[in-house]
Amino acid sequence: MNMIYRDLGKSFTEWFDWVLEAAELYDYGRYPAKGMGIWLPYGFRLRDSILKVMRNLLDSTGHEEILLPLLIPDHILAKESEHIRGFEAQVYWVTHGGIEPLDVKLALRPTSETSLTYLESFWIKSYKQLPKKFYQVVSMFRYETKSTKPMIRVREVTTFKEAHTVHESFEDSERQVKEAIDIYRKFFDELGVPYIISKRPEWDKFAGAIYTIAFDTLMPDGKALQIGTVHNLGQNFTKVFEVRIQKRDESIDYAWQTSYGISERVVASVIAIHGDGRGLVLPFKLAPKQVVIVPIYSSDKDQRNKVLQYCEKVHSLIKQAGIRCYIDLRDEMRPGEKFYYWEIRGVPIRIDIGMREVERNEVTIVRRDTLMKEIMKLEELPEALVKVGTEIDENLKERAWNAFKSKVRRMDDVDKAAAALDQERGIVELPWCGNDECSETVSERLNADALGTPLSIDKEEIRGRKCPVCGNDAVTFMRYAKKY
């Protein structure tokens, strides 16, 4: 099995394009505007399952869903100078309504810190209203000039979950950053997607933030994919939009903010990281169809009826337990074609039912993750399926983490790191003195990007280590990878 899984790495891009099309997840490249994809029904439902996990985590931690306008007037977007400098090259502008030029140019939201903070200046007056935790799931737009890639680098990001919070003090905003990291950890753990959490270097933080924490995963080709970011915005936006609040001690001060986001890259990572040479492999908890029943019968009418009746019985038994189960009754397809059809679509458990199963009051199940068969007694259903579903999710998570860990390597020497990356792409960590130029030098020599530093390190880990460029004492590690 591992072979199939590993084989992916060789031509990940081709495989990814193939699986999006073959599993009918996402249409890309046909639409006559660059960098814009279509969520097809099956892909839409997978996306929806993933968003449900996120919404549950946010709702249960006091976040409230809202919906803000897409269009941001230029004078609002430009109010925070760092922010607009970071985004201006990538903003789509609406300049005309009908044939009339507009008085004020309107940006398609590249993110919503500016428009929301503007509104918060009306809404929030007192510490009594705080903390406020808003989120929305919307399309956002970036006029990407680099080459685009389905779900991974698009011009319309259709699945932007952006959260925005407001606090009374810096300490409260720091606690919120921790909560956000914790929520994202739980989220990726639920999806079985491995990650490494880094504090992005100063030159790569979100435009307008004090600092940015990022979650990166590795795609099967060993390139790093940023799948989530958390920003402490300090008072940068509240100062320019004048969000003043009365504090507990009756003084007046600007409020403190954080923001954090994910996008459809999360869906891409679920597809890419769990998939294998035969197509999608979906975690049981996320699969739009968790179990598919394939009836197998000869041309004998009586046998056919018996098999189909038994299938219906098994189907209703499973459905009653709240499992998303589907019987594939298509007459024009042979069982082998159906196996192939559902394998590509990554359905976690297939149940094959023929006369043998009918006679013995059994079912034969085939796990998508291992392709292993197992016989189950009818009376063990549906509990046994739930158990297997849980095992599938654990197995997917474990094998994803194992593959990930083997590609994250801590080293002391740049040449050895370069050789290691040459042999197997992934992440290398090297001691760092804290000097930006040293990190730049390493980046160039490795032909890799600086992902950032660990959130915390044990003093013992770093003691005695030297920056491989200047030779000074290292204060932390810097991580490098080829980024998407």
* Alpha-carbon span 26 to 28, nearest angstrom: 6
* Alpha-carbon span 220 to 11, nearest angstrom: 9
The 3-state secondary structure of 250-273 reads CCEEECEEEEEEECCHHHHHHHHH
* Alpha-carbon span 384 to 403, nearest angstrom: 28
* Touching a copy of itself, residues 312-341 (CB under 8 A): none
Q: Tell me how many residues contact a copy of itself (CB under 8 A).
A: 53
* Of positions 8, 78, 84, 91, contacts a copy of itself by CB under 8 A: 91
Query: Rounded to the nearest whole angstrom, what is the least distance from the CB of residue 23 to a copy of itself in the complex?
Result: 15
* Touching a copy of itself, residues 138-157 (CB under 8 A): 139, 143, 145, 156
Is 203 near a copy of itself (CB under 8 A)?
Answer: no
* Of positions 9, 73, 86, 434, contacts a copy of itself by CB under 8 A: 73
* Alpha-carbon span 466 to 463, nearest angstrom: 9
Angle at 393 between CA 319 and CA 195, to 5 degrees: 140
Is 92 near a copy of itself (CB under 8 A)?
Answer: yes
Cβ proximity to a copy of itself, 45 vs 313, nearer residue: 45
Length of the chain: 484
* Touching a copy of itself, residues 95-124 (CB under 8 A): 95-100, 104, 106, 108, 115, 118-119, 122-123
Phi, psi of 135 (to 5 degrees): -150, 160
Positive or negative torsion for Cα 187, 192, 197, 200? negative
Binding mask 246-285 for a copy of itself (x = CB under 8 A): ----------------------------------------
* Of positions 4, 6, 14, 38, contacts a copy of itself by CB under 8 A: 38
Residue type, 285: K
Helices assigned H by DSSP within 350-431: 355-360, 383-406, 414-423
Q: What H or E segment, with its residue span, contains residue 450?
A: strand 449-454
Query: Rounded to the nearest whole angstrom, what is the least distance from the CB of residue 155 to a copy of itself in the complex?
Result: 8
* Of positions 11, 41, 334, 359, contacts a copy of itself by CB under 8 A: 41
Report the Cα–Cα distance between both ends of the chain, in Å, rounded. 27
Neighbours of 216 (CB within 10 A): 25
* Of positions 111, 117, 158, 226, contacts a copy of itself by CB under 8 A: 158
Residue type, 292: V
Choose one: 2-10, 85-93, 380-388, 472-480; the region binding a copy of itself (CB under 8 A): 85-93
Is 36 near a copy of itself (CB under 8 A)?
Answer: yes
139's tokens: 């399309």
Cβ proximity to a copy of itself, 267 vs 430, nearer residue: 267
Cβ proximity to a copy of itself, 271 vs 478, nearer residue: 271
CB contact set of 440 (below 8 Å; sequence gap of 6+): 450
71's tokens: 């269009």
Nearest to 378 by CA among 357, 394, 399: 357
Binding mask 2-31 for a copy of itself (x = CB under 8 A): -------------------------x--xx
Choose one: 86-94, 251-259, 398-406, 434-442; the region binding a copy of itself (CB under 8 A): 86-94
* Of positions 40, 333, 414, 470, contacts a copy of itself by CB under 8 A: 40
Residue type, 283: P
* Of positions 51, 57, 70, 420, contacts a copy of itself by CB under 8 A: 70
Residues in touch with a copy of itself (CB under 8 A): 27, 30-33, 36-41, 44-45, 48, 64-73, 75-76, 88-100, 104, 106, 108, 115, 118-119, 122-123, 134, 139, 143, 145, 156, 158
